[in-house]
Amino acid sequence: MPSAFNFNASPFDCLNADERQLVRDHVDIAYFKEGEAVLEPGTRPTHLFVVIKGFVRQFDGEGLVDTYGPDDTFDGRALVAGKASSRFVAAEEVLAYQLAHDAVNDLISRNATFGALLFADLSNKLSALSRHGSQHELQSLTMARVQEAAIRPVQEVDASTDIVSVARLFSAQRTDRVLVRDAGATPPRLGIFTTTGLQRAILQGVPLDRLAVGPLSSAPLVTIAPQAYLFDAQALMIRHKVRRLVVVEPEEGQPAHEGRVLGTLDQVDLLSFLSNHSYLITREILEAADLAALEGPAERIGGLIALLHRGGTPVRQIARLVQELNARLFERAWQLIAPAELVANSCLFVMGSEGRGEQLLKTDQDNGLVLRDGYEPPAGLAALCDRFSAALAGFGYPPCPGRIMLSNPEWRHPAAEFARTVRGWLLAPTPESLMALAIFIDAHAVCGDAKLLDTLRGEVFQLVIDNDVLLARFAAAINAFDSGGGWWSRLLPQGDEAERLDIKKAGLFPLVHGVRALALAHRIRATGTVERIEALAADHRLPPDLAGALVDSLHFFMGLRLEAGLQAQKAGRPYGGIVVNQLSSLDRDLLKDTLGVVKRFRTMLFQRFRLDLV
């Protein structure tokens, strides 16, 4: 066998030295003329093929379903099944390695990762890839559980205990917090009292030995389970602006927050465990005295994303943290710009990928403002909104080309007027209004009275009931970027041309919008794509295997887009899509699988919404 066999190509890159020698001992080279069949349906394959030169096309019936180029492997599934189900034809002269059946079986029995990457479904491939190629991810401190960190024990006192007794307990136990239980309250109340509360107690002007701790304790508690990821704990602290969480072990038959208290997880202990600086960024945001002070943390969010990605943190966790940090950034910027009365009588919200919690690198602004009915906003409202949009642009969030942002009067209204606008989108739909509706359905409150936004979103779900024509027109947007099946061949390196694939158009948008359409049809109010998929699967609106594959595909697309975006940033150029001829054979294989999942999902949507009639 020539020494040029590429052991860096998937799935052979997971083999050890002995397994590589096994390949060398049992591989030959085969030649196929243009148009010659490599495998026919129903035949029993005797070899696994790895393309050296040329291209092989796979057909099911008359339909082209896949194309294989240099370093691509086929057909492992037929080898395991004992029979080929597709026709494989040389599209031009082909040279290929052929690895004997018995050697493949031996490799599968020796190396589970090889077997998974060779013929498993998408979920198992991604799991195998994680185990093999990203061991640092499994060892990352960001993947640790709460129970692995330092959980500090905490004592409990009755609500009637006086402050002097609590202070003595602090001194004796060398602690700065106690849990406070008020069994007489309805329902029973469990809060927390810390040394910060001592300051409030002194200012009460009541002798401390006659002042009960109960009214000065903070409730409800912000809790977390010991099995939760430390990354989730960090996100909770950011969201609730607290420095500690109460760790509660859920007990069967009880709500999660009513389980057995194990202690507290303090921010300082969590930070000693995590290898990122999200807490420091949060503090800078919360303590910013002016917009200029927000520029530094806004810039550092991007650096944190790159740091976490290089460290192997899963893209879903990066996205969740980015959503929380961006929300705090936008909230603080609006608080610095808008009078307190305006903040209290309005709701600032974000939409699109930011609202779904799926934005990673900074993209266009998508935001709006709903005002409380009857509230008279300040005369300079337009100037305040212009200033907010300009501030975000200064932080690196470009203005929206469609002007879906606060500086556009169409996206800031009193609640009643906003409701009329929403009803107009639904009752007199146009392509533009349906896209506005799609963006708005993803809305997520970041500052002010969130109930104002909740009521508005409720209008959508009330009016969409049983409106099949509207739902079909809404779902039909999955065809907006349809370019047929040509993307199979574009996943192959052909010559020196840097072919680019817009992963948003090819995969992300039809997946996200299709899930959004199903969620709207079944009145599921979740805003995140994963949460929508889980709710649809729980309601038996999505087959479990397809639901799992959609979640895997979403995260794979997001990760691929993030990697390309970070590379573009490093090179000092704008993001321009995925450079196809720079993908590894494994990434091409996974991309084919995930785009195949989207194709299957689109077929289901066509049937569900009868899109052939739209």
The domain spans of the chain are 12-119, 150-220, 278-463, 476-613
Q: Which position has the token pair 């196929």?
A: 32
Domain 278-463 superfamily per CATH = Beta Polymerase, domain 2 (3.30.460.10)
Do 64 and 53 meet the contact criterion of CB atoms below 8 Å apart?
A: no
Contact 281, 234 (CB under 8 A): no
Decide: residue 241, CB within 10 A, 0-12 exposed, 13-18 middle, 19+ buried.
Answer: exposed
* Type of residue found at 420: R
pLDDT reported for residue 133: 42
Compute the distance between CA of residue 126 and CA of residue 120 in angstroms, rounded to an integer: 10
Task: Report the C-alpha gap between 592 and 589 in whole angstroms.
Answer: 5
Buried b (16+ CB within 10 A) or exposed e, 504-513: bebbbbbbbb
Quick one: DSSP state of residue 61? T
Residues 6+ apart with CB under 8 A from 196: none
Secondary structure of 208-239 in the HEC alphabet? Answer: HHHCECHHHCECCCCEECCCCEHHHHHHHHHH
Rg of the chain (C-alpha set) = 28
> Shortest CA distance to 586 belongs to which of 124, 75, 129?
129
Q: The tokens of 504 are what? A: 């948003």
* Confidence at residue 488, expressed as pLDDT on a 0 to 100 scale: 46
The pLDDT of residue 482 is 67
Residue 7, CA distances (Å) to 56, 583, 591 in order: 20, 16, 20
Which positions ≥6 away from 151 have C-beta within 8 Å? 226, 247, 262, 263, 264, 265
Going along 267-422, which residue ranges are E strands? 346-350, 367-371, 412-414
Over the chain (614 residues), the average pLDDT of each successive run of 10 is: 73 88 92 93 91 89 79 83 88 92 88 73 57 42 69 90 92 88 85 87 87 90 88 85 88 66 85 60 85 90 80 82 91 96 97 91 91 94 96 93 93 94 87 90 95 91 80 88 54 53 89 95 92 95 92 92 86 79 76 89 92 75
Q: What crossing angle do the helices spanning 101-110 and 17-25 adopt, rounded to 10°?
A: 170
- Calculate the alpha carbon distances from 264 to 278, 361, 428 in Å: 20, 33, 53
Q: What is the assigned CATH class of domain 12-119?
A: mainly beta
**What is the largest distance, in Å, between two alpha-carbon atoms of the chain?**
97
- In this structure, the chain runs to a length of 614
146 near 265, Cβ under 8 Å? yes
User: Reading across the β-sheet that carries 37-39, which strands appear in turn?
Assistant: 37-39, 87-90, 56-60, 63-68
In CATH, the number for domain 150-220 is 3.10.580.10
| Alpha carbons 186 and 129: distance in angstroms, whole number | 52
E strand or H helix that includes residue 73:
strand 73-74
